[in-house]
Amino acid sequence: MNVFLRPNLARCLWVTPFTSLIFMSLTLFIRHWVGMTPIYDSQQMLTVGYISGVLGFLIGIGAFDTWFPWMIGAPTRPEDHSQHGAYSWRDYFRFNTDHKVIGLQYVTTTFIAFFVGGMFAEIFRAELAHPGQDFITTQQYNGFMSQHGTLMIFTFLVPVFAGLGNFVIPLMLGAPDMAFPRLNALSFWLLPLALLIFLSSFIFESFEAGWTGYPPFSTTGPMGETLFEIGIQIAGASSIATAVNFLVTIITMRAPGMTMFRMPLLVWANLATSALVVAATPFIAGAQFMTMFDRVFGTQFFVPSLGGDVLAYQHVFWFYSHPAVYIMVLPGFGIISEVISVMARKPIFGYRAIAFSSAGIAVLGFSVWAHHMFASGMEDWLRVPMMISTMLIAIPTGIKIFSWLGTIWDGVLRMNTAMLFATGFIFTFVIGGVTGIWLASVPFDYHVHDTYFVVAHFHYVLFGGSVMTVFAGVYFWYPKVFGRMVDERLGRLHFWSTFIFSNLTFFPMHWLGLEGMPRRVADYDPAYEGWNTFISISAFCLGAGMLFFVYNMIHSARHGAIAGSNPWGALTLEWQVSSPPPIFNFDVPPRVVGGPYRYGEPGAQHAIFPEETVPVHEPAHV
């Protein structure tokens, strides 16, 4: 078959614009038929074009090749596993149902978003190095600032954990793949689309309302704001689909003997996170639908003159976006539990306490959203309950921190790069957590609301917290993914530059905030100049340090030392198969016989592989 007809990226090249054009003409026709004048409305055309373009891309890549015939009852191909597994580099650029391929696709895409978003931060940090307008306009500043937040949150921190989890979790459970492999591939391919949609808004003047997209700025802002709203829907759909997949996989596809309390803690963390994603993400979808309808259809959700209430947006938005903070850090907690236990050669301290505290954070996470709105003029009676529930979250988080410290205590520590990042994470995350408690108290929040203190706080929890765990995870599982070791020397350089310069970048922001420097401004009072220049220089060094990481990742994939199946001497199941793992993970279903962290027990095993191997041809389930 011609390359433009087979399901691949080449087919996307024509199917995507074709679908867009069909739906755009249909819109013109409907507007003409209903009698609207003018027939052409640029907002509507853009919205229809982009959404149908996403559909077209998915058709082109082959996401619906199996589902369409199935829907209309046509004879379907028997599953021949032709979409499963990577046999050449080309397999990473097509609709692949193998969770290991999808995991790598996910992590690569999200890291591209990370570096692009980081670059935007460097650009506006350069502008902020000195007071006054230097080389970007205020609109461009708003654009870069909004893109930085949006890319980092929606296309890096939320999906990168889905990517790491995708690679690791089926292996940890002893399963051959995720529960719904095609849905898994579909949810991956939505992600680069969301990234492209966000970035393409630069063509139409980028969105400027920040990653929060508060109306009325977002409902009256430039054209790019519509693309922000569409991009969020796409990224959100991707994360809901992945979360459903994780939940079903974790609940139904555990290897025999893998009881709930024999699951590794990363699996527990992903279980809690996925439950959060499923229950919370639709709220941001709802909030973005409303602002999009205001822009595209002229509804009055947030138009104050006709009864629209912008506070309603903030309520709906934060009802997702506060749980989203835990979506962005809970899987990281899981990674830290894995890394610390393996590298300290000790059973994890308080397994059930860590598992249940994840669940506790997930539940409490829904009761704290209005702490972002203390100064917004919302209902007074909401403040104190939200303050108390926010402070309560420190309890399950503290349980985790002390459990990790308890695990490290008296352990035989192996301070390699993954462990350095794990311990560095504990240090920086505790700083972010402590300022979180300060911000939870209403009077203090009134003082520092919308200042650099808040910026410092969430960069400590998101960069010093989540990103450090991502790096810990990447360095920890790299030998499993590529079968080769990373260069430890470069890894340490990367860790120390990241650790030192992130603290130098984000810590002075506390002082600026306490002195009253507002966030999200392109220019500031010359009184704040000294620390701002310092922060900008540290931020450039922080960015430059990432080059060690990029070089290390690319170089070690080909030239690193051969890792062998289990370089860290870990007990969990993903380390019991070859590196990289076989295409179908396990030749024989493993049998789980004990807990995953039995380090220090002589002869302890987490799982065994029964002797009888029966070659089979039918899939595990249909």
Partner 1 sequence: MAAHAEPAAHAEHEHHGPATYTYQPNPFKLDPTTLGLVIFLTSEIALFGAFFLYYGHNRLVRHYEWPQPGFEIPANGTAFNTAILVASSFTCELVLIMLVRNLRRAAIAWMIVTILFGSAFLGLQAREYMEIGFTPQTNAMGSSFFSLTGLHGAHVFLGINLLVYCLIRLWRGHFAKDRMTGLIITSIYWHFVDVVWIVLYTLVYLLPSHT
213: contact with partner 1 by CB under 8 A: no
User: How far is residue 476's CA from residue 338's CA, in Å, rounded to a whole number?
Assistant: 9
Q: Which of residues 588-617 bind partner 1 (CB under 8 A)?
A: 588-589, 592, 614-617
Residue 317 C-beta: closest distance to partner 1, Å: 9
Q: What are phi and psi of 265, to 5 degrees?
A: -70, -25
User: How far is residue 322's CA from residue 369's CA, in Å, rounded to a whole number?
Assistant: 5
Q: Which of residues 321-340 bind partner 1 (CB under 8 A)?
A: none
316: contact with partner 1 by CB under 8 A: yes
Judged by beta carbon, residue 138 or residue 300, the one nearer partner 1 is 300
Q: Which of residues 236-275 bind partner 1 (CB under 8 A)?
A: 240, 244-245, 247-248, 251-259
Judged by beta carbon, residue 206 or residue 389, the one nearer partner 1 is 389
Judged by beta carbon, residue 266 or residue 280, the one nearer partner 1 is 280
| Both structure tokens of 339 | 């890394």
Give every CB contact of residue 325 below 8 A, 6+ residues apart in sequence: 365, 461, 462
| Binding-residue total with partner 1 (CB under 8 A) | 86
User: How far is residue 151's CA from residue 116's CA, in Å, rounded to a whole number?
Assistant: 8
Residue 543 C-beta: closest distance to partner 1, Å: 25
Residue span binding partner 1 (CB under 8 A) among the ranges 156-164, 297-305, 331-339, 443-451: 297-305
Judged by beta carbon, residue 17 or residue 282, the one nearer partner 1 is 282
User: How far is residue 562's CA from residue 582's CA, in Å, rounded to a whole number?
Assistant: 16
Residue span binding partner 1 (CB under 8 A) among the ranges 136-144, 185-193, 277-285, 457-465: 277-285
Query: Could you tell me which of 117, 114, 89, 115 has the C-alpha nearest to residue 104?
Result: 89
Query: Could you tell me which of 461, 472, 464 has the C-alpha nearest to residue 549?
Result: 472
Asked if 621 contacts 176 with a C-beta cutoff of 8 angstroms, the reply is: no
User: How far is residue 308's CA from residue 500's CA, in Å, rounded to a whole number?
Assistant: 47
Judged by beta carbon, residue 107 or residue 456, the one nearer partner 1 is 107
Label each residue of 362-418 as H, E or C: HHHHHHCHHHHCCCCCCCHHHHHHHHHHHHHCHHHHHHHHHHHHHHHCCCCCCCCHH
CB atoms closer than 10 angstroms to residue 72: 7
Residue of 99, 585, 596, 607 interacting with partner 1 (CB under 8 A) = 585
Asked if 561 contacts 315 with a C-beta cutoff of 8 angstroms, the reply is: no
Q: Which of residues 170-199 bind partner 1 (CB under 8 A)?
A: 175-177, 179-180
Residue span binding partner 1 (CB under 8 A) among the ranges 50-58, 299-307, 515-523, 539-547: 299-307
290: contact with partner 1 by CB under 8 A: yes
Residue 180 C-beta: closest distance to partner 1, Å: 6
Angle CA(475)–CA(479)–CA(481) in degrees, nearest 5? 100
Q: Which of residues 374-393 bind partner 1 (CB under 8 A)?
A: 379
Q: Which of residues 85-124 bind partner 1 (CB under 8 A)?
A: 86-89, 92, 100-101, 104
35: contact with partner 1 by CB under 8 A: no
User: How far is residue 378's CA from residue 384's CA, in Å, rounded to a whole number?
Assistant: 12
Cis amide bond preceding 479, omega within 30: no
Q: Which amino acid is at 512?
A: L
Q: Parallel, antiparallel, or unpaired for β 607-608 and 591-592?
A: antiparallel
Judged by beta carbon, residue 214 or residue 301, the one nearer partner 1 is 301
Judged by beta carbon, residue 248 or residue 608, the one nearer partner 1 is 248
Q: Which of residues 467-486 bind partner 1 (CB under 8 A)?
A: 481-484
Residue 129 C-beta: closest distance to partner 1, Å: 38
Binding mask 484-503 for partner 1 (x = CB under 8 A): x-------------------
